[in-house]
Amino acid sequence: MTKIEAQIKQYGEALNRLNEVLAMPKNDVVRDSAIQRFEFCLDLAWKSVKTFLEEKNGVICSSPKDCFREAYKQGLIEYNEDWLKLVDMRNETVHTYNQETAELIYSQLGEAAVKFEILRKILNEKI
């Protein structure tokens, strides 16, 4: 198994775990678990994109936003600000924690999971 295949597999497993917790009835523990799993998914998403761009296109990127911008340029994903907003959400959950922020982020995780799934499919098709 290549590095990119292993990363995409790990990314898919993390996404399954996120979807699993999002299907549970919401309480504080479920919310916090979903946010943590979102963070894992975003980290694995951008690192998978980074590896894909390096291995398939010879392009080097070093940060989540740079990698997603480069993925737009390379035609891997469609241009929109959603991926950059997901990076901002992740940064907010990692560096600032309060109930209001947690509730806001949690309310957006279903949409994030859909974007993660689309990226997973794209990466699997292109490797």
Supply the range of the domain harboring residue 52: 3-126
For tokens 């740079």, the residue is 66
Tens-binned pLDDT, residue by residue, of the chain (127 aa): 999 999 999 999 999 999 999 999 999 999 999 999 999 999 999 999 999 999 999 999 999 999 999 999 999 998 889 999 999 999 999 887 789 999 999 999 999 999 999 999 999 999 8
Angle at 20 between CA 7 and CA 36, to 5 degrees: 65
Q: What is the CATH number of the domain that holds 29?
A: 1.20.120.330
What is the reported pTM?
A: 0.94
Q: How many alpha carbons lie under 13 Å from residue 83 in its C-beta half-sphere?
A: 26
Q: How far apart are CA 57 and CA 51, in angstroms?
A: 10
How many domains are contained in the chain?
1
